[in-house]
Amino acid sequence: MKKDKVKAVILAAGKGTRMKSDLPKVLHPIYSKPLLGYVLDAVSSTGLIDESVVVVGHGAEEVEKFVTEYTDDAKCVLQSPQRGTGDAVAKAKDILADFKGTVLVICGDTPLIEAETLIDFITTHKNNGSALTVMSAIFDNPTNYGRIVRNPDNSLKCITEEKDASPQVKQIKEINAGIYCLEKELIFPLFNELKCNNAQGEYYLTDIIAASIEKGLKADAYILKNNEEIFGINSKINLAEATKILNKRTNLKLMTEGVTIVDPETSYISPETTIGKDTTIFPNVYISGKNTIGSHCKIGPFAHIRDGAQIGDNVRIGNFVEVKKSVIKSNTNVSHLSYIGDSELGEHVNIGAGTITANYDPVLKTKTKTIIKDGANTGSNSVLVAPVTMHENSMCAAGSVITKDVEANALALTRSPLRVFQDWVTARLNRGKSGEK
């Protein structure tokens, strides 16, 4: 292990009882990405951390599966039973046995933390030469958080949990954000001394503060500037609130970069979507996953872009259109009521209202591709049964079901011939009156 890099320990073993869910808390998604994914991304985006240890417990198998698939830079360690945050960090001891240096401890349920903040936090810790730094924040309503208790000279004394706090301590508005930097060699030995004689009968990580001060080690608090970043998810209500906060942050950033968002309140855009300037997002648009959208596009109202969309410039994605895992090149229109999935659309393509790419074979459970080349047009209400290609400037007529490739400049039509019965309505009426069928 490299000595100069920082390691992270991510706490994700807790039960998350208040989520009232079968899904482990840290796997609840915001825009299809689990909460833990946000924390892993923030940690790796610092560029300072080369390895994370995720402490798993409740729903361990599922969480470990996610971590393994999500990143190569994290390992999981099991905490069973879950005996508190102090016990959880201690579980990382063996994996970090050879490591000498700084360990960042962070909870897996704080998806709004930003890499820049973590960088500043770690750098401050190192520059101060502290053995331990705890991130704190000043909250108007500090209820339920651990309180930062200071000495008269303002130096750190200890952290007291809400459940163990006296009425005086409960008045303190500086809270423990639950993110720490620890010098491993100095602090980890103290975990052996933790006791669980507190209101919850748990080994509190927070007791490490008093323990290290007692040993004469340097412990400091780093006061967070933007309290939103440590918003923790404990319930479905918090999950919705975090989504709102994240969305507001993303939309403000996009607008600063020149994207027009008509109603930021109703346009949900995942932070992993990039959008070019002068693109307009109309109300009630939902964009999740990783996508790129070019400049001068018009998206929505009521459009759904699901993941893996690569959309060029000057593209129109209109109302009630769903796009998934598709390339749509510049100057192409998908204006109304369509589904475009696993497809490649060239330039200057026009997709008629109600066109569907039928990409899924429910028997073989496979997905196949639809390719629509430059200048091709689909008639309204046509179904393109993948795998299928419509070549350059080809057309299909309204209501057609396209099951074979269509050559360049050709028209494909599967419509049954139109038959018109003169005076049919009058005849039907007369028959009805005489009792005939």
Q: How far is the CB of 89 from Ca ion (least distance, A)?
A: 15
Using CB under 6 A as the binding rule, the residues of this chain from 139 to 198 that contact ligand UD1 are 145-146, 159, 161, 175-178
- Confirm or reject binding of residue 11 to ligand UD1 (CB under 6 A): yes
- Residue 96 binds ligand UD1, judged by CB under 6 A: no
Q: Which does 12 bind (CB under 5 to 8 A by kind): Ca ion, ligand UD1, none?
A: ligand UD1
Rounded distance, CA 360 to CA 374, Å?
Answer: 24
Sheet of strand 395-396, all strands in order from the earlier edge strand to the far edge: 260-261, 280-281, 298-299, 316-319, 333-336, 350-351, 377-378, 395-396, 411-412
206 binds, among ligand UD1, Ca ion, none (CB under 5 to 8 A by kind): ligand UD1
| Omega before 29 within 30 of 0, i.e. cis | no
Q: How far is the CB of 190 from ligand UD1 (least distance, A)?
A: 15
Which residue in 253, 201, 181 sits closest to 82, CA to CA? 201
Instruction: Please give the structure tokens belonging to residue 427.
Output: 């005849």
Subset of residues 213 to 232 that bind Ca ion, contact rule: CB under 5 A? 232
Nearer to ligand UD1, 57 or 352 (CB): 57
Binding-site size for ligand UD1 (CB under 6 A) equals 28
> How many residues comprise the chain?
437
Residue whose structure tokens are 């959880």:
88
d(CA 132, CA 188): 11
Within 211-230, which residues bind ligand UD1 (CB under 6 A)? none
21 near ligand UD1, judged by CB under 6 A: no
In whole angstroms, the minimum distance from the beta carbon of 143 to ligand UD1 comes to 11
336 is catalytic: yes
Interaction between residue 111 and Ca ion (CB under 5 A): no
How far apart (Å, rounded) are the C-alpha atoms in residues 370 and 358?
Answer: 8
Omega prior to 81 cis, within 30 of 0: yes
Beta strand 174-183 pairing with 132-138: antiparallel
State in angstroms the smallest separation of the CB of 121 from Ca ion.
18
Determine the Cα–Cα distance for residues 270 and 68; give it in Å rounded to an integer.
23
- Stretch 231-250: interaction string toward Ca ion, x if CB under 5 A: -x------------------
Cβ proximity of 292 and 329 under 8 Å: no
Site for ligand UD1 in 47-66 (CB under 6 A): 55, 57
Binding-site ranges for ligand UD1 (CB under 6 A):
11-14, 55, 57, 79, 82-85, 87-88, 107-109, 145-146, 159, 161, 175-178, 204-206, 232
- Residues with catalytic roles: 336
Binding-site ranges for Ca ion (CB under 5 A):
232
